[in-house]
Homo-oligomer: A and B are copies of this chain.
Amino acid sequence: MSHFDIIVIGAGPGGYAAALLASQRGKTVALVEKNALGGTCLNWGCIPTKLYLGATAHLEGLHAQTRLRLCSGTIVMDMPALRKRKAAFVSATHKAMGSCLEKNGVALLKGDATLLDANTVRVTGAAEEVFTFSALVIATGSSSNWFPGLEPDHARILDSTDLLDLDEAPESLTVIGAGAIGLEMADFWNRLGTQIHLVEAAPRIAPAEDEEIAQTLHGMLKRKKWNIVTGKRVAGIGNEGESVLTRLEDGTEIRSAKALIAVGRKPNTPGLGLENAGVSTTGAGWITTDACLRAAPNIYAIGDVNGRTLLAHAAEHQGRYAVLHALGETAAPYETGPMPGCIYGSIEVMRAGATAAELAAAGKSVRISRANLGANPISQAHGQAQGLVKAVWVDGVLRGLTAVGHGASHLVTLAEIMVRDGWSRETAHEHIFAHPTLDEALRDALTAPLEDR
């Protein structure tokens, strides 16, 4: 029975970063993965969608500049070729990750992991082996979630993985769930000519975002002729003839060639044997962690599986912390700081830090300042005359920064830095913003007149 200083279960962005850091700190490390390296992010999530969006950005450009009557033309995408390119990119990344693990002396164990007790894990792959560990990092991530009656048939009613494998653009697509995944997928196919129906049970699309940002996004998508329904649940979905029929709770029916179900995520905890190690879960199985991301004295849970923040970079940040904490290099509780997040595509959303509503709910006296991202010359140059940047202030200190419009994802790290470093309005004047850049819209928002919320 082999022993490792640290065993990591799950080779997504969080587990991979944790394993590498631990081995670079001189520890013996094993990384257990039953599937491909890179997790959801690389294989079915962030990376494939960004490859698809990047490879079709010129379609959106053609639409935008054609609307302005500056050009004419046609572009035909070769979807099988795009799929192949995605597969090649993902496969090359697998190889690069594998050789990096090898170079750093991380043992990669292929198989399913099950905890036998608080110091022992069984890995069942080609063979079955048992290992002991001093510390364990659980980084098994999450999967698409289905509700009864709202499940993909993988033929016309699809999940996000199915939807990236279509050979041609469906004539129409009903997207159920208007979070980041639903919005990005809808945008991609819309560029290829698909009519979009977007259904969200919450009162607004992008429900995790600032209300005004979400409303601005809604208006911008309506101008792209999306059919958007909010505040209504799906009562049923099924095939009818050659179409998918989506029935809403109020009786509305939407017919479309395909449908995407993107209503949430569930934790990958079944079969892990958590109960054998004294690890408890909540809700659908999310692992309960303390202030130091511990599920047990020597067991950490990081990334999606602890339910804190379902984002690749959050997992990576937590993975790094868990290793440093396990090695005694930090004793402080885990702090995220202002978490950055984006919705990518033709119209993008970014946010770092708190929304005005969150701060107001916490009893803070909130002030806001705004700039029109659509007035920015770089946005105008790309044919987008709408957009919004919104800064949120408490006692003269920047506490949140969010934007919607052309290229907003390019602003997210700036926003993270400005919020984390607690910029004042004067800080924005001290820096020189290159002209012309989209970044100037952040400066404009930070220095605009303050208003009540």
Contacts of A342 in B (CB 8 A): 434, 437
Of A44-52, A116-124, A139-147, A204-212, the one touching chain B: A44-52
Task: Known A417-B431, A433-B313, A435-B46; judge A81-B61 contact (CB<8 A).
Answer: no
Q: How far is the CB of A57 from chain B (nearest CB, A)?
A: 5
Task: Known A85-B70, A380-B54; judge A438-B416 contact (CB<8 A).
Answer: no
Task: Fill in one digit per residue for A416-434: 1 if any B CB lies within 8 Å of its CB, else 0.
Answer: 1100110000000101111
A317, B76: Cα distance in complex, Å = 46
CB closest residue in chain B, given A410: B410
A412, B85: Cα distance in complex, Å = 30
CB closest residue in chain B, given A53: B381
* Number of copies of this protein chain within its complex: 2
A431, B436: Cα distance in complex, Å = 26
Asked if A55 and B75 sit within 8 Å, CB to CB, the answer is no
Q: How far is the CB of A174 from chain B (nearest CB, A)?
A: 26
Asked if B416 and A432 sit within 8 Å, CB to CB, the answer is yes
* Residue A319 at the chain B interface, CB threshold 8 Å: no
* Residue A395 at the chain B interface, CB threshold 8 Å: no
Asked if A58 and B55 sit within 8 Å, CB to CB, the answer is no
* Residue A414 at the chain B interface, CB threshold 8 Å: yes
Asked if B432 and A55 sit within 8 Å, CB to CB, the answer is no
Contacts of A317 in B (CB 8 A): 432
Asked if A65 and B58 sit within 8 Å, CB to CB, the answer is yes
Asked if B433 and A413 sit within 8 Å, CB to CB, the answer is yes
Asked if B436 and A416 sit within 8 Å, CB to CB, the answer is no
A312, B440: Cα distance in complex, Å = 13
A409, B382: Cα distance in complex, Å = 15
Q: How far is the CB of A344 from chain B (nearest CB, A)?
A: 9
Task: Fill in one digit per residue for A177-216: 1 if any B CB lies within 8 Å of its CB, else 0.
Answer: 0000000000000000000000000000000000000000
Asked if A320 and B429 sit within 8 Å, CB to CB, the answer is yes
Contacts of A407 in B (CB 8 A): 410
Task: Known A381-B53, A382-B54; judge A78-B89 contact (CB<8 A).
Answer: no
A70, B345: Cα distance in complex, Å = 18
Checking B61, B341, B433 against A434 with a beta-carbon cut-off of 8 angstroms, the contacting residue is B341
A96, B12: Cα distance in complex, Å = 50
* Residue A303 at the chain B interface, CB threshold 8 Å: no
Asked if A78 and B70 sit within 8 Å, CB to CB, the answer is yes
Asked if B69 and A378 sit within 8 Å, CB to CB, the answer is no
CB closest residue in chain B, given A72: B76
Asked if B377 and A50 sit within 8 Å, CB to CB, the answer is yes
Contacts of A362 in B (CB 8 A): none
Contacts of A314 in B (CB 8 A): 432
Q: How far is the CB of A99 from chain B (nearest CB, A)?
A: 14
Q: How far is the CB of A121 from chain B (nearest CB, A)?
A: 28
A71, B47: Cα distance in complex, Å = 20
A-B contact pairs, 9 of them (CB 8 A): A51-B377, A54-B382, A55-B68, A69-B78, A311-B434, A410-B410, A410-B437, A416-B432, A417-B431
12 more CB-based (< 8 A) A-B contacts, given A70-B85, A73-B76, A350-B434: A50-B378, A54-B382, A58-B60, A69-B78, A70-B81, A75-B75, A313-B434, A314-B432, A337-B431, A337-B432, A407-B410, A413-B434
- Give the 10 A-B CB pairs with smallest separation, nearest first: A54-B381, A58-B61, A73-B75, A413-B439, A58-B58, A340-B434, A313-B435, A410-B410, A312-B435, A412-B434
